[in-house]
């Protein structure tokens, strides 16, 4: 059974009825960094509520290259998985643990029932849709209107805000995959940012100076 303490991040979002039912019907799953939580084409039976860590949500093109859509933090859920669940379709995204991560898995049937009968849950779902939609618009704007060096620096500063640390343990290849570009381009632009004294580079580590 889930401990009441685990639900603390959601205590201000849901009424007591929802919290009590989660304790009864939900399950907890833990993932290591880079573990796949939801994969493209997967038949979804549960939706994740994130209680610890961060989750990257990505799309994949026909060549297998990935594009980062948004990152989930504690207290979030994935609007894309909600949409697939409601439509009874397979997942169109890949969700990957960006850190050691713990999620509460809520059965699809329960989620649908709450949406029809519980105001606090319905408000949470609709707000989640709006937040994720805004983040996807920001991703589109970044792709359409920002140069790659600007995209890279924004990516790094967003990482700093998520991790609450100016020291990022990440490889050039991981950045390239998230930004849908090549490692060579990332390495070159990181060197430029270092010359501009916005970052300092180490082995698989980046210290962000200016953010």
- Per DSSP, the three-state class of 69 is strand
* Helix and strand totals (H; E) in the chain: 7, 10
pLDDT 10s digits, 37-89: 999 998 888 888 888 899 999 988 777 788 888 888 888 887 667 776 666 67
pLDDT 10s digits, 91-128: 888 999 998 999 999 888 888 888 889 999 889 888 88
Alpha helices in the chain (DSSP H): 16-25, 79-87, 108-117, 119-145, 148-163, 172-179, 183-195
pLDDT band at 7 (very low <50, low <70, confident <90, very high): confident
pTM of the model: 0.78
- Cα–Cα distance measured from residue 124 to residue 54, given in angstroms and rounded to the nearest whole number: 19
Q: For residue 24, report the phi and psi dihedrals to the nearest 5 degrees.
A: -85, -40
Domains located in the chain, CATH noted? 11-144 (2.60.120.10), 147-208 (1.10.10.10)
Sort 102 into a burial class: Cβ within 10 Å, 0-12 / 13-18 / 19+.
middle
Tell me what the mean pLDDT of segment 186-200 comes to. Answer: 93
């Amino acid at each position: 059974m889930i401990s009441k303490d685990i639900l603390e991040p959601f205590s201000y979002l849901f009424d007591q009825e929802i919290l009590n039912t989660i304790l009864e019907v939900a399950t907890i799953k833990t993932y290591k960094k880079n573990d796949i939580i939801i994969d493209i084409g997967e038949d979804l039976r549960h939706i994740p509520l994130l209680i610890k860590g961060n989750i990257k949500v990505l799309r994949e093109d026909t060549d297998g290259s990935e594009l980062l859509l948004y990152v989930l933090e504690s207290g979030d859920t994935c609007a894309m998985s909600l949409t697939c669940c409601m439509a009874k379709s397979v997942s169109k995204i890949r969700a990957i643990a960006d850190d050691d991560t713990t999620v509460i898995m809520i059965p699809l049937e329960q989620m649908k029932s709450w949406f029809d009968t519980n105001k606090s849950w319905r408000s949470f779902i609709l707000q989640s849709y709006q937040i994720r939609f805004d983040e996807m618009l920001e991703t589109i704007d970044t792709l359409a209107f920002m140069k790659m060096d600007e995209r890279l620096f924004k990516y790094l500063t967003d990482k700093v805000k998520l991790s609450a640390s100016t020291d990022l343990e990440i490889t050039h290849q991981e950045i390239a995959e998230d930004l849908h570009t090549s490692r060579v381009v990332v390495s070159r632009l990181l060197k430029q940012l270092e010359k501009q004294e916005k970052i300092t580079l180490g082995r698989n580590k980046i210290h962000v100076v200016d953010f």
